Structure formats: structure tokens, C-alpha cells
């Protein structure tokens, strides 16, 4: 069930059709309701407030026709502006950033507002009856249509403002960074991986691992694509119910080829065809990576913006520096979190699931490798990389994390010696490298 919810929710939140379709449906229902209650309410409001529309049938038809025509025209303009923004973002920032724009609920609400107003006026205008028939002018419904038109003007002004903000590189980097930090908070909450008191998190004995490798049966993927989601709770429950040990061979973000093993089941003689189908149903494959369980996806998006900014065609080191700052912010949070144990046990302390986990050194490699490689000839970017590593070094508390930061600092200073022609720039990098070396040599727990 969770797999299906994730699959459809992931499609819906990055589509332009869902919110406008819901708003259009609400507008149609509102039109029928307002017309139904129009006559008694119109008389009461006219007597008590006097602000409803008081024109005849011709005037009401003209007003609603003007509003409907204007709304569908503006909806076309908004759609065209959105396509222009998507084209610019794809060309300058990378096609993977389109998901950030398409999942922006503000744009979806703007499109939905104009479409809903158009449909509302279209349905109300058909209920107006002329004098030769039984005369009926829905005064309240026409008044509400005018109010919707006024609100739509405000929405249009907001949309223009939102578009002018959303195409700025700093704003896009901030959005991606916010999503990345939310993913870190979700996947690495405080005290994750320690488990309940008495539940072991150490590796099982060597004899069991050897038996597992020899007797386990693989569960192949049903298709090609990126692994987007694993229903870990359902997998643990299934392993407990069938008395199995399951080892995941892939983690979210990996590209999987059909029939390649997603997991191994032990004992292998219990891996019947229905059980294999159950396990396969807990994995979601898609055409692109998502950030729900893949922390490196958000890192890669920021890296892509930085690398494109460092290309000769753009030559924008300021955007690259902004991305480095956001990456440093995410790494500082990740450095303070407990890494989850790959060994998941049930309430009887029995090993049930072995899962690959993300580590701080691996995320650090994803964050710094490409920026370091493409930015080695930029003194500003190289210096900011070193300064960011110094900031992150003040948050780490595990020796292997300090070793990862020290390794990247060494690679950066070697690249600066080879790539920066100016001696003063090289000395500035070396000075910051010495500061990083001092921080990384501090024993675990003594940093800031």
C-alpha cells in the first residue's frame, strides 16, 4: 500500500494537472451550488447589503463572457511564461532541476485559478434565461464571478513576482538545499541506528555470513530504472512473518537493470514464487531519481548547478560558491547525526534485514569531487571549498569523517598547486589547508 501511495504521490506533486484539475472541479460544483441558491439569497442580499449585481440578462451575459474570455487568455499566457522558465532552467541549470519548478505548488495554483474562474463563468452564463423564456438572472453568481476575476488579477501579479524570483540561481539553489536538508532530517533523525537497548547493531558472525552467501536466493528486478523507494517497514514485517533474513543489494538512487538482484533471501528454500512477488512489490522503480530516500540526489542537483556555472560558456563562479555554501550547510547537519546500522533486528533481537546505508564520507565525495575537479582553475571556488571544509570539520565527531575531510583538503591543495598560476592564490589556499589540518587533527569530540 505504501508503495502505491508513494508512486502516485510522486507523480502528482510534480505535475501541472492535479491541482488545476481539483480547482476546476471545485469551480464547477460551486457554480451549480451558487445558481441553485441564487434567487432567495440574491433578494436577501439586495435588501440588506445592496452590493450584488443588479443588471439584466444581457448585462450578466456580457460580464461573464468578458471574464471567461479574459481568464482563458491569461491562462495561455501563464502557460507560455512557465514553458519559457522551464526552457531557461533546463539550458542554464540542468534538466534535472525541472522537477523543482514543476513541483512548485504556487504555479499550479495560479494555473488552477484562471481555469477555475473560466469554467465557473462558462457554467453560470448558460443558466441565464431571456425575457421570452422564464426570466432568470443569477445575480449572486455573477457577483461571485466578478470577485473571482478580481482575485485572479491579484494572482496574476503574484505569479509575475514568483517567476521573477524563481529563475534566480540563488533561489533555485536555496530550494534544492531546503529539500536536501529535509531529506537528511527524515533519513538521519537523532539517535537513528542505535536501536532499542539490548538490540545488537554489530555484524553477525562470519559463519552466518558465509552460509548466507552460499544459500541465499536472489530476487530480481522486474524492469529497468532508478530505485526510488523501498518499503522498509513492510519488508521487515514480511521477513518476520516468513522467518527470513533479507539483504538488500541496491539502495535508493541506484540504477537497476531487469533481472539484476534487488535483494537476497535466506534461507533460499523458502523463497517461493509468491514470496518473491511480494518482495518485488516493495520496490519502486522509475525513470528518474527522487529525493525521498536518496540523500545523494539533492547533493547531485547542487553539484550540477555548480559545475554548469563553472563551464566556459557561463563562467559564473558566484553561483558555484553559493552551491558550495549550501552543500556545507547540509554536510554540517549530516556530520552531527548518527549513521544508521545496516543490521535491522526484530523485537526478539533476531537479524531480519541487512541494508546498505549512506555514510558521511560517501556523501562528502558526492558533494566535493566534481566541483573540485572542474573548479581547480578558479581561485575563488577553490578557496571557498577549503573554507567550507573547515566549517564542516568543526561539526564532525567520527574519526572516519575527519579523515574524509582531510583527504578532500589534500586533493584540493594539490589541484590548486597545479591549476592556479598566481602564487598569492596558491598561498591563500595553502593557508586555509593548514587551518583544516589543525581542525582535522583534533581528537573526536573536541571540535566545536
Instruction: Decide if 298 is inside a domain.
Output: yes
Interval 106-122: pLDDT, tens: 888 998 999 999 999 99
Phi, psi of 265 (to 5 degrees): -110, 130
Interval 398-409: pLDDT, tens: 999 999 999 999
Domain count, the chain: 3
Same domain, 382 and 369: yes
Interval 232-248: pLDDT, tens: 888 999 999 898 999 99
Q: Which of 286, 307, 334 is the last residue of a domain?
A: 286
Q: Give the Cα separation of 73 and 149 in Å (integer).
A: 13
Instruction: Decide if 3 is inside a domain.
Output: no
Instruction: Decide if 300 is inside a domain.
Output: yes
Same domain, 300 and 280: no
Model confidence at 367: pLDDT above 70:
yes
Q: Which domain holds residue 274?
A: 206-286
Give just the sign of the alpha carbon dihedral 203, 204, 209, 212: negative
Q: Which of 242, 260, 286 is the last residue of a domain?
A: 286
Q: Tell me the average pLDDT across 147-157.
A: 92
Same domain, 133 and 261: no
The whole-number pLDDT of residue 332 equals 94
Same domain, 110 and 245: no
Same domain, 362 and 246: no
Question: Which residues make Cβ contacts (< 8 Å) with residue 99, sequence separation at least 6?
Answer: 14, 288
Same domain, 333 and 363: yes
Interval 76-133: pLDDT, tens: 888 888 888 888 777 777 777 777 777 778 888 998 999 999 999 999 888 877 655 5
Model confidence at 280: pLDDT above 80:
yes
Instruction: Decide if 142 is inside a domain.
Output: yes
Same domain, 223 and 156: no
pTM listed for this prediction = 0.83
- Higher-pLDDT residue of 96 and 319 is 319
The whole-number pLDDT of residue 197 equals 42
Instruction: Decide if 255 is inside a domain.
Output: yes
Same domain, 187 and 242: no
**Burial profile 16-36: b = 16 or more Cβ within 10 angstroms, e = fewer:** bebbbeebbeebeebbeebbe
Instruction: Decide if 153 is inside a domain.
Output: yes
Same domain, 223 and 274: yes
Amino acid at each position: 500500500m505504501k508503495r502505491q501511495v508513494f508512486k502516485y504521490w510522486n507523480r502528482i506533486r510534480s505535475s501541472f494537472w492535479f491541482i488545476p484539475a481539483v480547482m476546476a472541479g471545485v469551480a464547477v460544483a460551486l457554480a451549480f451550488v451558487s445558481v441553485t441558491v441564487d434567487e432567495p439569497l440574491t433578494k436577501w442580499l439586495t435588501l440588506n447589503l445592496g452590493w450584488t449585481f443588479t443588471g439584466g440578462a444581457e448585462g450578466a451575459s456580457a460580464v461573464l463572457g468578458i471574464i471567461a474570455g479574459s481568464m482563458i487568455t491569461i491562462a495561455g499566457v501563464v502557460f507560455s511564461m512557465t514553458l519559457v522558465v522551464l526552457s531557461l532552467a533546463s539550458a542554464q541549470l540542468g534538466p534535472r532541476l525541472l522537477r523543482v519548478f514543476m513541483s512548485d505548488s504556487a504555479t499550479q495554483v495560479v494555473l488552477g485559478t484562471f481555469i477555475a474562474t473560466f469554467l465557473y463563468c462558462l457554467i453560470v452564463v448558460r443558466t441565464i434565461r431571456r425575457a421570452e423564456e422564464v426570466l432568470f438572472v443569477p445575480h449572486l453568481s455573477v457577483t461571485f464571478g466578478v470577485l473571482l476575476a478580481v482575485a485572479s488579477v491579484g494572482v496574476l501579479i503574484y505569479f509575475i513576482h514568483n517567476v521573477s524570483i524563481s529563475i534566480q540561481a540563488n533561489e533555485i539553489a536555496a530550494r534544492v538545499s531546503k529539500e536536501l536538508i529535509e531529506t537528511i532530517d527524515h533519513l538521519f533523525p537523532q539517535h537513528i541506528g542505535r536501536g532499542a537497548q539490548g538490540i545488537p547493531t554489530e555484524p553477525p558472525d562470519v559463519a552466518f555470513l558465509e552460509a548466507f552467501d552460499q544459500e541465499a536466493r536472489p530476487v530480481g528486478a522486474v524492469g529497468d530504472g532508478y530505485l526510488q523507494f523501498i518499503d522498509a517497514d513492510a519488508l521487515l514485517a514480511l521477513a518476520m512473518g516468513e522467518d527470513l533474513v533479507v539483504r538488500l543489494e541496491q539502495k535508493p538512487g541506484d540504477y537497476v537493470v531487469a533481472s539484476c538482484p534487488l535483494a537476497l533471501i535466506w534461507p533460499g528454500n523458502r523463497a517461493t514464487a509468491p514470496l518473491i512477488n511480494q518482495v518485488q512489490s516493495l520496490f519502486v522503480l522509475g525513470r528518474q531519481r527522487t529525493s525521498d530516500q536518496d540523500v545523494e540526489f539533492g547533493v547531485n542537483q547542487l553539484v550540477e548547478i555548480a559545475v554548469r556555472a563553472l563551464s566556459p560558456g557561463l563562467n559564473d563562479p558566484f553561483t558555484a560558491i553559493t552551491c558550495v555554501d549550501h552543500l556545507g550547510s547540509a554536510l554540517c547537519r549530516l556530520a552531527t547525526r548518527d549513521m544508521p546500522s545496516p543490521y535491522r533486528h526484530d523485537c526478539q533481537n533476531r537479524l531480519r534485514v541487512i541494508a546498505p546505508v549512506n555514510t558521511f564520507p560517501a556523501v562528502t565525495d558526492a558533494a566535493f569531487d566534481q566541483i573540485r575537479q572542474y573548479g581547480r582553475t578558479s581561485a575563488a571556488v577553490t578557496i571557498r571549498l577549503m573554507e567550507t571544509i573547515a566549517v564542516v570539520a568543526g561539526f564532525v565527531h567520527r574519526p572516519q569523517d575527519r579523515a574524509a575531510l582531510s583527504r578532500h583538503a589534500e586533493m584540493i591543495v594539490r589541484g590548486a598547486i597545479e591549476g592556479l598560476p598566481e602564487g598569492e592564490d596558491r598561498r591563500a589556499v595553502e593557508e586555509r589547508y593548514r587551518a583544516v589540518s589543525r581542525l582535522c587533527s583534533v581528537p573526536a569530540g573536541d571540535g566545536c
